[in-house]
């Protein structure tokens, strides 16, 4: 009996992993923006940086007589065998004399001068050379358009103009624990941390933008377009999408906009498992799907962005066969967080 339960667990784990054998990987998030050393005489500015996208932080000091750079380092979130990985850029500053200086950080690619993001930090140096730093807030940018038809058309055109010229990262994370009824469910809960760790190690690069455009205006619940520094930023929220076991990867609003898990029955077969009954109780619900992209206003092509959603997988009661061993799975739930970042 224990071997059957173990086979069931391995089947479910492999199913989740095989859903994402292609993909992009996002970073785990930066450290706190502003921190200090123990003496308060060094301030560290930490910024998320995805070098695989070609973007890096460049900075200017308004008064280099007041502060200096004491260190500048990049730490990858994980080791993928290259320096082209998402991670955190940490730039440290020390005081030279009393006064104020503003450091302007521009998140910019090597091939152009238009930043996708700007961060300004004001650093005050006191007489004992201790430091105080604060982010300089700018006025919020108001959207210049919320016309869904207009924004969808602009996104589709930018997607077509971009092609496969970018390199990004795909990531999938287990949100919470896998749950299920009975002994299988208890073991799934125990194995959830292991599944989470394996998924985290599975991040890798891709050179294809997510989704299967054109997306449609009726796929969208809300959209906004912003213009700043020669960059158009589009924020597009997609409708939630419930799927059955045989739905295609490019079907529905989430499929067209980002791409779904696709045919779960087919995925099971690739790992030597099949649903023998109860496929009508298997479903995936895609929620909070969103596209957030930056577009160069001059070229009309996408220069960076994030595509993301939550996928809730539910198996009501199904019989599964793996390597000639049959077992029943009841009330299994798992939520996956999927993101693609360029």
| Tens digits of residue pLDDT in 83-93 | 556 778 999 99
| Tens digits of residue pLDDT in 263-288 | 666 555 544 556 676 667 777 889 99
The number of domains in the chain is 2
The overall average pLDDT reported for the chain is 77
- Taking the C-alpha atoms of 263, 342, 229 and 93 in order, what is their torsion angle to the nearest 10 degrees? 140
Q: Do residues 172 and 82 both lie within one domain?
A: no
What pTM did the predictor assign? 0.61
Q: What is the pLDDT of residue 115?
A: 74
Give the residue from 210, 206, 236 showing the smallest Cα distance to 224.
236
Mean pLDDT of 289-309: 91
Q: Do residues 7 and 112 both lie within one domain?
A: no
Concatenated DSSP letters of 96-162? SSSEEEEEEEEEEETT-S--SEEEEEEEEE-TTS-EEEEE-PPPPPPPSB--HHHHHHHHHHHHHHH
CATH code for the domain in which residue 127 is found: 2.60.40.2020
Q: Do residues 65 and 91 both lie within one domain?
A: yes
Q: What is the pLDDT of residue 186?
A: 54
Mean pLDDT of 93-117: 85
Among residues 106, 135, 164, which one ends one of the domains?
135
Residue 140 lies in a domain: no
Domain that holds residue 101: 34-135
Among residues 92, 111, 135, which one ends one of the domains?
135
Q: Do residues 92 and 195 both lie within one domain?
A: no
Q: How far apart are CA 1 and CA 302, in angstroms?
A: 53
């Amino acid at each position: 009996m224990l071997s059957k339960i173990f086979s069931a667990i391995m089947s479910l784990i492999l199913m989740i992993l095989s859903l994402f054998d292609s993909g992009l990987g996002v970073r785990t998030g930066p450290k706190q923006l502003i921190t200090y050393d123990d003496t308060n005489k060094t301030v560290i500015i930490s910024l998320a940086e995805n070098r695989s996208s070609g973007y890096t932080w460049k900075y200017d000091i308004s008064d280099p007589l007041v502060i200096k750079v004491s260190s500048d380092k990049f730490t990858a979130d994980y080791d993928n065998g290259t320096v082209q990985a998402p991670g955190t850029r940490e730039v440290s500053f020390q005081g030279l004399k009393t006064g104020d200086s503003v450091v302007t950080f521009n998140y910019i690619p090597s091939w152009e001068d238009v930043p996708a993001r700007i961060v300004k930090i004001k650093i005050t140096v006191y007489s004992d050379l201790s430091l105080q730093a604060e982010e300089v807030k700018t006025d919020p940018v108001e959207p210049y358009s919320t016309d869904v038809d207009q924004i969808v058309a602009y996104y589709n055109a930018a997607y077509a103009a971009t092609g496969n010229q970018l390199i990004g990262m795909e990531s999938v994370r287990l949100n919470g624990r896998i749950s299920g009824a009975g002994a299988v469910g208890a073991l799934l809960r125990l194995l959830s941390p292991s599944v989470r760790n394996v998924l985290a190690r599975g991040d890798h690069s891709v050179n294809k933008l997510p989704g299967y455009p054109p997306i449609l205006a009726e796929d969208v619940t809300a959209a906004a377009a912003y213009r700043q520094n020669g960059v158009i930023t589009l924020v597009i929220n997609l409708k939630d999408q419930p799927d059955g076991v045989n739905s295609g990867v490019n079907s529905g609003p989430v499929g067209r906009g980002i791409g779904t898990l696709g045919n779960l029955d087919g995925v099971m077969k690739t790992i030597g498992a099949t649903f023998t009954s109860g496929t009508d109780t298997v479903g995936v619900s895609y929620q909070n799907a969103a596209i957030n992209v930056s577009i160069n206003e001059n070229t009309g092509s996408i220069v960076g962005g994030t595509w993301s959603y939550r996928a809730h997988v539910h198996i009501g009661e199904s019989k599964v066969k793996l390597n000639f061993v049959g077992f029943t799975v009841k009330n299994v739930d798992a939520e996956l967080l999927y993101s693609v970042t360029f």
